[in-house]
Amino acid sequence: MDININPRDISPLSLAYIGDAVYEVYVRTHIMKDVNLPVNKLHKTATGYVKAKAQSDIILAIAGSLTEEETAVFKRGRNAHSYTSAKNADIVDYRRATGFEALIGYLYLSGNTARLEEIIKLSIDYIDNKIL
């Protein structure tokens, strides 16, 4: 897909909005690749990867591998003032998760697929290792 959007011009919450969807697609693809589970089981499994606490833990675990630019994008997302509140997470985890999603959205809209997939692989591997 040819995306002609400069992600630097997008609000951090809009980056998080698209990042949430992109990350969800990668997670769903990952959990479906080896098994044929009922949809409710797939949903429950995916939740372990995409909930705010998991994303907060992921960003803390991979922070050392982020570039300065990526860290700045994460911080923009983390510090953005959202008009929604966390449903099942504390505010610190929710904000970190928003920063993580903003980073995913930024990489996606930048067209930096290689780095996007590298970050998502680190993220999924982190959760896989936590679950096992």
The tally of CA atoms less than 13 A away on the side-chain side of residue 127 is 23
Alpha-helix runs per DSSP H in 7-87? 12-32, 39-50, 52-62, 68-79
Helix (H, G, I), strand (E, B) or coil at 1: coil
Catalytic residues: 20
Residues 6 or more apart in contact with residue 62 via CB below 8 angstroms: 119, 122, 123, 126
